[in-house]
Structure 1
Amino acid sequence: MKSKIKILLVDDHLVVRAGFKMLLAAGDAIEVIGEAERGEQAIQLYQELKPDILVMDLSMPGIGGLETIRRICQRDPAAKILVFSVHHEQVYVGRALNAGAQGYITKNSAPGILAEAIAAIMDGGSYVEQGLIKSQHHNDAPRPDHQAAIAGFSPREFDVFSLLAQGMTVHKIADQLCLGHKTVANYATQIKKKLQVDTTTELAHIAVNLGLTMR
């Protein structure tokens, strides 16, 4: 009998994890062997449980999804990671794949897409949901220097940038990311300097021009 594909499921919402677990368990080829609600926990469970694939969200408290991917892939270059996120923008897809993920699908994709993506990655390939990577034509395109600056952000800088663009305050960002207020303030200053802007409003404009829509 063929052994089941072992999945570690990572999402900070219990209800979401429960729904995904039911979806994954619908067939007889996949088994969820562990769940985590934040990146630090996912890294620990990955080492302990050694799943075949890690299925994870990007938006979560603590070190965040992108940094989690990077750290796991540093420790295990053969790690198989599928991102299952609410974000459909190319900048998120690109950063997740660059961090080491083999696949990226959105949470509003058809149920069969999840199993299809897992199968493709298990076969040694990659899987990006159709339509997520495409050329953009926008009359109000971001300046190339802004694109280059954002591409060079560390995972933590990108997390702070995304939350600032949503209009969140430094104190709220600090609470969500489990960082000190001064640390987040320093990140905000660095980000504005790299983007050559003075206000959070200008920063949000850049995010809009990049096609970033936040939950």
Structure 2
Amino acid sequence: MLVDDHAVVRAGVRRLLEQDERFSVVAEAETGERAYQIFGEHLPDITVLDLSMPGIGGMETIKRMIARYPTAKILVLSMHENAAFASQALKAGAKGYLAKSGLAEELSNAIQWVMTGQTYLGSEISHKIALQMHNTQGDPMQSLSAREFEIFRMLVDGVDLSSIATTLNISLKTVANYQTTIKQKLGINSPVEMVRLAIRCGLIES
């Protein structure tokens, strides 16, 4: 199953996959919500999923799918070439992470790897994670859970608490509690500090 909000990307990935007779695309979805709805109808061997989509987004989709279908194999295909995104996606339950820039060379290899139950990291991403592990300061994002990371990104994007609550289908009080926990874990107090930290961690452009 292919999950991406851009039809052009889905078509490109489908074309790439269908050149290989071992693969066939059984379903497509343009949002995480839709993917979650139709997963049970198709029970794909593997789901190739984008992180940046409208609605609940990729990270939350991974969490929900794995909670309902624990054996689901999910490979993230993302424009984010950042170690924090890859780490959080794996934490949420994905079995692989590939940057869209490495798509053509690595996709079939990544799918086969994940299908055998192993974890796959694209060459660029694994290099960045290795560098990060040697960085004495470490990555503050590693202290956050996958849900906290997703809420942190929404807050940085200027999404208000009630909209976050609606999108993630949780109460406003729960979102406020998450916000407090995130600030405590990251040692920040204001929205400005939050944005500065996101820039420093490479999550947004300065």
TM more than 0.5 = yes
Structure 2 unaligned blocks of 5 or more: none
Aligned pair count reads: 197
Rounded to whole Å, the distance in 1 between the matches of 2:143 and 2:35 is 25
TM superposition shift of 1:27: 1.9
Aligned partner of 2:4 among 7, 11, 26: 11
**Secondary structure at 1:94 match in 2:** helix
1:174 partner amino acid: S
Give per-residue Cα distances to partners, 1:39-93, cap 9 Å, x unaligned: 1211121111011100001111222211211221122222111000011111111
Structure with the higher fraction of residues in strand conformation: 1
How has the CA–CA distance of structure 1 residues 98 and 194 changed in structure 2, closer, same or farther, with 3 Å as cutoff? closer
Rounded to whole Å, the distance in 2 between the matches of 1:154 and 1:130 is 22
Runs of 4+ in 1 over 6 A off after TM superposition: none
How has the CA–CA distance of structure 1 residues 173 and 20 changed in structure 2, closer, same or farther, with 3 Å as cutoff? farther
2:126 is the alignment partner of 1:135: no
Give per-residue Cα distances to partners, 1:101-142, cap 9 Å, x unaligned: 111101111403111111111223221111313123669x46
Question: What is the aligned partner in structure 2 of residue 94 from structure 1?
Answer: 87
Question: What is the aligned partner in structure 2 of residue 76 from structure 1?
Answer: 69
Aligned partner of 1:52 among 45, 57, 61: 45
Question: What is the aligned partner in structure 2 of residue 38 from structure 1?
Answer: 31
Rounded to whole Å, the distance in 1 between the matches of 2:189 and 2:116 is 48
Question: Where does 1:110-121 land on structure 2 (aligned, <5 Å)?
Answer: 110-121=103-114
Question: What is the aligned partner in structure 1 of residue 143 from structure 2?
Answer: 151
Query: What is the RMSD of the two structures over their aligned residues, measured on CA atoms?
Result: 2.9
Determine what percentage of the aligned residue pairs are the same residue.
Answer: 40
Aligned partner of 2:57 among 61, 64, 71: 64
CA contact (8 A) 1:160 1:173 kept: no
2:170 is the alignment partner of 1:174: no
Structure 1 unaligned blocks of 5 or more: 1-7
TM superposition shift of 1:32: 0.8
Aligned partner of 1:202 among 193, 200, 204: 193
**Secondary structure at 1:60 match in 2:** coil
CA contact (8 A) 2:91 2:146 kept: no
Rounded to whole Å, the distance in 1 between the matches of 2:152 and 2:77 is 21
CA contact (8 A) 1:9 1:36 kept: yes
Structure with the higher fraction of residues in helix conformation: 2
Rounded to whole Å, the distance in 1 between the matches of 2:23 and 2:69 is 22
TM superposition shift of 1:100: 1.4
2:201 partner amino acid: L
**Secondary structure at 2:54 match in 1:** coil
Please give the TM-score of this superposition, normalised by the length of structure 2.
Answer: 0.80
CA contact (8 A) 2:76 2:89 kept: yes
